[in-house]
């Protein structure tokens, strides 16, 4: 059985999420091929070849794949998959979610979103209803296409493998979509989805200015990534890629510190698999307290600075 994994990258570096997907592929068992579709992405293919457990890397290097446009990449992936792969996997990132359902439809098969566990070769677990229920699904399709929730699988080693790199000459340019531009938020802190500690702020922090005044020192002290609830993002305190939740990023760090977050269902869906959850909130009845390991009732504007000074 062979498994095709679509690499996540920015044409320069292989994204860590790919290592989690390879880990999920290993749980299924079989020969693992990683497809790197991009432009001037030779370095990414070389990194992918070193990943433990990967037996082959396919590099499709063309301007048509430079920005991971779903229209072009999906038809490439579907074509390669038809050449004898039993599984097609990608990370449940915005890129994976954009491309894979298109691949599935081109292959005329159903897709499984957000795999969190591999039961056997065709049975998987995935969360539904904002993580309030876990469904076990069995795919009777000839090719199983799925996205993997990266926080549910420990990454494989980035070094140690020695896969061969093959070039794919085929170019798929549908000509129906064009990349215009990208605004990437520059951060000095660890990436949210991969951080060991996350400090998150909600509506309770009051303003964008206060978010940074109060939470930046704490995040710096802990070496943490910063997150936010949907309420804080919608209020414009921080950009949307800070959002943790059902419709934002799913995180599962060792420590999640929720500051001024009430704990709506949609937020809990994104963080309740964290190892230790701390809630700092002035409301004793806040729903976040029901999932927190430790909660402290108090004014975040005095509690957080005190915490920073004593750490």
Annotated binding-site residue numbers for FAD:
203, 229-230, 243-247, 260-267, 281
DSSP string computed for 39-105 = SS-HHHHHHHHHSTT--EEEEEE-GGGTT--HHHHHHHHHHHHHTT-SEEEEESSHHHHHHHHHHHH
Q: Is 106 near other proteins (CB under 8 A)?
A: yes
Burial of 96 (0-12, 13-18, 19+ CB in 10 A): buried
Map the footprint of other proteins across residues 16-45, applying CB under 8 A.
Answer: none
Which residues does 105 contact at the CB level (< 8 Å), separation at least 6?
Answer: none
Choosing from 27, 56, 102, 282, the residue that interacts with other proteins (CB under 8 A) is 102
Map the footprint of other proteins across residues 191-210, applying CB under 8 A.
Answer: 193, 197
Map the footprint of other proteins across residues 69-98, applying CB under 8 A.
Answer: 69-71, 74, 93-95, 97-98
Choosing from 177, 207, 209, 299, the residue that interacts with other proteins (CB under 8 A) is 177
Choosing from 241, 252, 282, 283, the residue that interacts with other proteins (CB under 8 A) is 241
Determine the interface stretch with other proteins among 18-26, 35-43, 210-218, 286-294 (rule: CB under 8 A). 286-294
Contacts of 275-282 with CB under 8 Å at 24 or more apart are 280/304, 280/307, 281/204, 282/204
Question: Which tokens belong to 105?
Answer: 């439809």
Name which of 156 and 268 has its Cβ closer to other proteins.
268
Question: Which tokens belong to 28?
Answer: 């299924």
Closest CA to 293 of 266, 245, 256: 256
Determine the interface stretch with other proteins among 30-38, 42-50, 151-159, 237-245 (rule: CB under 8 A). 237-245
Map the footprint of other proteins across residues 133-172, applying CB under 8 A.
Answer: 133-141
Q: Is 110 near other proteins (CB under 8 A)?
A: yes
Name which of 161 and 260 has its Cβ closer to other proteins.
260
241: which DSSP letter?
G
Q: Is 276 near other proteins (CB under 8 A)?
A: yes
Choosing from 233, 238, 244, 259, the residue that interacts with other proteins (CB under 8 A) is 233
- Taking the C-alpha atoms of residue 246 and residue 100, their distance in angstroms, rounded to an integer, is 19
């Amino acid at each position: 059985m062979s498994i095709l994994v679509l690499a996540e990258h920015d044409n320069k570096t292989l994204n860590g999420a790919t290592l989690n997907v390879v880990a999920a592929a290993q749980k299924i068992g079989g020969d693992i091929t990683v497809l790197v579709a991009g432009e001037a992405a030779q370095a990414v293919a070389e990194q992918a070849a070193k990943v433990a457990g990967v037996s082959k890397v396919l590099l499709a290097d063309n301007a048509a794949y430079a920005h991971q446009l779903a229209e072009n990449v999906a038809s490439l992936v579907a074509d390669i998959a038809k050449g004898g792969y039993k599984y097609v996997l990608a990370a449940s990132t915005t890129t994976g979610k954009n491309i894979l359902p298109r691949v599935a439809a081109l292959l005329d098969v159903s897709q499984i979103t957000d795999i969190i566990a591999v039961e056997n070769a065709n049975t998987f677990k995935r969360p539904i209803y904002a993580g309030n229920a876990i469904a076990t699904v069995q795919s009777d399709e000839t090719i199983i296409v799925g996205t993997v929730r990266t926080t549910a699988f420990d990454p494989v080693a980035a070094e140690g493998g020695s896969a061969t790199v093959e070039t794919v000459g085929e170019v798929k340019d549908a000509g129906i979509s064009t990349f215009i531009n990208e605004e990437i938020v520059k951060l000095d802190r660890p990436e949210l989805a991969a951080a060991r500690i996350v400090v998150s702020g909600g509506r309770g922090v009051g303003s964008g200015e206060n978010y940074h005044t109060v939470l930046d020192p704490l995040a710096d002290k802990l070496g943490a990534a910063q997150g936010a609830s949907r309420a804080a993002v919608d209020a414009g305190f921080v950009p949307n890629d800070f959002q943790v939740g059902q419709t934002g990023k799913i995180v599962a760090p060792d420590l999640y510190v929720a500051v001024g977050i009430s704990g709506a269902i949609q937020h809990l869906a994104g963080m309740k698999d964290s190892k230790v959850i701390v809630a700092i909130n002035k409301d004793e009845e806040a729903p976040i307290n029901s999932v927190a390991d430790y909660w402290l009732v108090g004014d975040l504007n005095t509690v957080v600075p005190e915490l920073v000074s004593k750490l």
